[in-house]
Structure 1
Amino acid sequence: MLNNFYDSDFTWSNAKETADVALYRSTGKYLSDIEIKLLQGSWEDKTYDDMAIIYGYSAEYLNKDVGNKLWHKLSEALEEKVTKRNFKAALRREWEKQRDSSAMEENLELQVSPSVAQLPFPESSVPPDSHFYVERNNVENLCCETIIKPGSLIRIKAPKLMGKTSLMNRIIPYAVAKNYRTVYLDLSSVQRKILTNLDQFLRWFCCMAGRQLKLENQLNDYWDGEILGSNDNCTVYFEEYLLTQIDSPVVLELDNVDKIFSYTEVTEDFFGMLRSWHEKGKISAIWKKLRLLLAHSTEVYVPLDINQSPFNAGVPVELVEFDKQQVKKLVFIHRLNWDEIQVEQLMELVGGHPFLIRLAMYEVSLRNLTLKQLLQEASTEAGIYSNHLRGYLEALQKCPKLAQAFKVVVNSPEQVELDSIQIYKLHSMGLVQRRDNHVVPRCNLYREYFQRVLV
């Protein structure tokens, strides 16, 4: 009898969309990736033990940490008690309320997506409360679970325009909600003359951290240039002043740390110091208060001792491209009436690259062009990606050997083997995907454009 109730007109797709809309209306957030997995597993009548085997999580985590929270959120969103046993019936009732398509469309326009006039141009990081922030596959949960651990270290790595800064910005409100203090420093903004002198760089580092913690500059009182080295002075300043003055944990976020990799005057000592702080956090009460979050675009080609590098410690987080489900969520947010084929056509061109995907949806949403026209013009000078592609071309033209290596990659139907430095540089630029010691173009857009211009 129960099976007859859930007849074919109410599908898993209907259930997920209904839950997404209801949760957004209630909380301002969509289902996370792990919640979608749990909801689908429950839809298929799988137990928590079954899902644990399939998804690689513990059954206790799926039950108590994910399941209980999800059923509670759905209970509030649907205004009735929702459990793993009855969620299908609850979602069906909500779906039936929304079944009138015109009413559904009006509801989405008013409550879910911003108007076309409000669409932000996708040129920088996404604010943490933005409609356009798309959660990764449990990455946010991992970062938030790690950052509350004493003395923790997180390393976020991805090519440029993949969402590293957006993820860091997402973690800051979570830390603030925990009454933590936060410091965000973008190392790409440091002046070159500061980066050629370790003492000056570490004084800048301490000064900027103190300013964000709203503490008075006391560098002259703690900096002993006659006896202590620069690293020791910086460590003393944090240990005896900054961390002592703050009662709560401090999250220190360092963005674009790869921008200083080439400054050998500071890199070895600075990164060695960060590693020592992380190690101190395992035993020292004062250093347990500090949580480190590093983001970088490239592999770490810096001559660091394996025991002195922060890049082989802590929790690594590597951002990958959006999958089809995440791209479809952006289609939904942009109010685009695309079917499965259109989503696949765009991803065939640019993969799941966050910036390239969002730029396409921005242009089509503003009705500047159709998707068909966008795809036809994409790799030409008339296309929406022309400035983006030209920037890469100018960078490659400054490095003829690298340009020649990439020319081989885009003209080969097979994956290409390059030396490690060439792979490192092309991957950090975001032009290739790595497959062991081989590479392929990151997407067909890059293949088509650079086949034409690298002559």
Structure 2
Amino acid sequence: MPDSEDPKQASSNDLRNSQFGGGLINAGTVNAGQIGGDIYNIHLGQQTAASVNSVQSENQRKRSQSERDSLEKAYTLQSQKIANLRTALVIESDVTRKFQHEQQLQEEERTLRELGDKLDAIEQQLQASDNSGLEIDIGIYVERPPIEDKCYKAIVQTGALVRIKAPQKMGKTLLLEKILDSARQQSYQTAKLDLQLADIDILANLKTFLQWLCVDVADSLELEPQLDKHWQEVFGLNKNCTRYFQKYLLSITDTPLILAIDNFERLFDYPEIFPQFCLLLRGWYEAAKQGDKIGNIWKKLRLVVVHSTEAYPSLDTNHSPFNVGLAIELPEFNLQQVVDLAKQHKLGLLKEQSLSRLMELVGGHPYLMHQAITSLRDATRTLRSANTHLESQPVGLEELLGLASTEQGIFSDHLRQQLWNLQHNPLLELGYKKVVMSNTPTRLDTEVAFKLHSLGLVKFVGNDCICSCDLYSQYFSNRLGR
């Protein structure tokens, strides 16, 4: 996968005497590009035969969090400065000064956008790190029958298309890795495209994106790109990409190729790319149904698409890859699966009653449950090193439950990131406030509801929304209810 480039350098801004948190910050001239230091790239590679993404070191993660905090403060200050300028612009009557205010406002808004880009970049890094959190223990995987078996059987079918959908941090990427590993055991070729790692420049236009796709898949297969040979400007962009796969990637071997696309929802915000790319994937899927020589070539391609929301832009049903193939929706863990997770972490002492108490807090959410059990496991190991006589009561359970929704709890980083997601989208924040402050299911705007569901913050009850777990209810009723 290509490495992410550093975000663009933001311009300098005079924030002297800017107000924040009720006090004055005498910061002199603040360079937005220097706040919090440099934003470091994450280099994701492969670990063992399972090809699991590596995780940021703890020191780098803390540094990234510190950078994010500094950038958030700068973003708030800059937003306040722009609000003051807009107010001054409205009441200013002098033509010359009004023009000066307009020029300054344009510059400050540009700086705000640059700060926002830097915040988005660092949030993507932290998100990638969090998403990898379930993959730290690469030998641990909790099956959710019959989902895995369905995927394994589907992927060996000619021209298969598997669609995996679930909110964030539900284990979609882990399931994807299991599918790819199963395919490798069949001696299939595999190529994984993680759109979360695509640079903004790659998503600038359809041509750049499709050429990146071609080169990246070739690189995964350890082939030379050969774009010059197979990409002819006389053809359209989708046609060129199709020719590249048909005449090069799929024709040089009889071995099936699994192309997996993770974090597909990243494209929903790119209207120039999304509909055309969906049309392309649907075309490849349909080509495999042909009975001629070309159809036999496309039968070797198997597609796996992973996304975290249903709120994708509207598409012609005949052009969409979201209404064909095998649809998989990942559910939360049930109690037996949570028991299995605890056993794999060698926490056999955890009784079902204790695990039920954890489920009352976080439901069967895989990521949150994994965090809780890992914390209890580490506490148990620490105690075992000092005392070999352990009681059946899990070590640290009461403390974990008592501090769960606070800044001292083990979920604090995750909760703060979710809060950041809400605070930077006023419509989502307002909608979620209605949910957490209500004792009954709440009806929300469809797009808002689906985005909150994508973040894992709500569950659907018919067409209405409820808070997805008690942890979120406790934390956000306190933060948003003020």
Q: State if a TM-score over 0.5 links the two structures.
A: yes
Partner of 1:427: 453
Q: Confirm or deny: 8 A CA contact 2:215 2:225 kept in the other structure.
A: yes
Q: Counterparts of 2:426 and 2:244 in 1: how far apart (Å)? A: 45
Match of 1:47 in 2: none
Letter in 1 for 2:406: T
Say if 2:226 is the partner of 1:218. yes
Q: Give the corresponding residue for 1:255.
A: 262
In 1, the alpha carbon distance for the partners of 2:248 and 2:471 equals: 52
The question of 1:405 aligning with 2:431 is answered yes
Q: Larger % of helix: which?
A: 1
2 CA distance for matches of 1:362 and 1:129?
10
Unaligned 5+ runs, structure 1: 1-120
Question: Among residues 181, 188, 191, which one is paired with 1:173 in the alignment?
Answer: 181
Q: 1:445 to 1:126 in 2, by over 3 A?
A: closer
Does the 8 A contact of 2:134 with 2:370 survive in 1? Answer: no
- Within the candidate set 220, 244, 247, 2:251 is matched to 244
What amino acid is the match of 1:299? E
Q: Is the 8 A contact 1:151 1:282 kept in 2?
A: yes
Output aligned runs, 1:166-315, within 5 Å. 166-225=174-233, 227-283=234-290, 284-315=295-326
Q: Per the alignment, do residues 288 and 125 of structure 1 end up closer, same or farther by CA in structure 2, a change over 3 Å counting?
A: farther
- Whether 1:365 and 2:391 are equivalent positions in the alignment is no
Q: What SS does the aligned partner of 1:366 have?
A: helix
User: Following TM superposition, by how much is the alpha carbon of 1:213 offset from its aligned partner in structure 2, in angstroms?
Assistant: 1.3
Q: Distance in 2 between matches of 1:448 and 1:126?
A: 24
Shift of 1:216: 1.5
RMSD over aligned Cα atoms: 1.6
Q: Hey, what's the Cα distance between the residues in 2 that align with 1:134 and 1:414?
A: 33
**Partner residue in 1 for 2:402:** 376
| Displacement after TM superposition at 1:195 (Å) | 0.8
Write out aligned runs for 1:97-112 (5 A): none
> What is the aligned-residue identity percentage?
44
Q: What is the deviation of 1:436? A: 2.4
User: Which amino acid counterpart does residue 345 of structure 2 have in structure 1?
Assistant: H
**TM-aligned CA distance change 1:239 to 1:129, over 3 Å:** farther
SS in 2 for 1:159: coil
Residue identity matched to 1:213: L
CA distance in 1, matches of 2:253, 2:133: 29
Q: Any conservation in 2 of the 1:125–1:165 contact (CA below 8 Å)?
A: no
Q: Distance in 1 between matches of 2:452 and 2:418?
A: 10
CA distance in 1: counterparts of 2:264 and 2:335, whole angstroms: 31
Of 407, 411, 421, which aligns to 1:395? 421
Query: For the structure 1 residues 127 and 364, does the alpha-carbon distance in structure 2 shift closer, same or farther, using more than 3 Å as the test?
Result: closer
Which ranges of structure 2 fall in alignment gaps of 5 or more residues?
Answer: 1-128, 383-394
CA–CA distance in 2 between the matches of 1:125 and 1:259? 20
Q: What amino acid is aligned across from residue 366 of structure 1 in structure 2?
A: D
Question: Hey, what's the Cα distance between the residues in 1 that align with 2:249 and 2:136?
Answer: 27
Q: In structure 1, what is the equivalent of residue 6 of structure 2?
A: none
Counterpart among 145, 149, 160 of residue 152 in structure 1: 160
Task: Flag the 1:198–1:273 CA change in 2: closer, same or farther, 3 A.
Answer: same
Distance in structure 1 (CA, Å) of the matches to 2:287 and 2:135: 33
| Aligned partner of 2:440 among 405, 409, 414 | 414
Q: TM-score, structure 2 length as denominator?
A: 0.67
User: Contact 2:284/2:298 (CA < 8 Å) preserved in 1?
Assistant: yes
Q: Offset of 1:316 from its aligned partner?
A: 0.3
- Retained in 1: the 8 A contact 2:311–2:451? no
What SS does the aligned partner of 2:251 have?
helix
**SS of the counterpart of 2:192?**
strand
- Counterpart in the other structure of 1:445: 471
- 1:77-96 equivalent positions in 2, closer than 5 A: none
Q: When the two structures are aligned, how many residues end up with a matched partner?
A: 334
Q: Is the 8 A contact 2:134 2:367 kept in 1?
A: no
- Contact 2:265–2:312 (8 Å) recurs in 1: no
The residue number in structure 1 matching 2:7 is none
Superposed CA deviations along residues 83-134 of structure 1, whole A, max 9, x for unmatched, are xxxxxxxxxxxxxxxxxxxxxxxxxxxxxxxxxxxxxx98616559934210
CA distance in 2, matches of 1:128, 1:272: 36
TM-score normalised to structure 1 length: 0.71
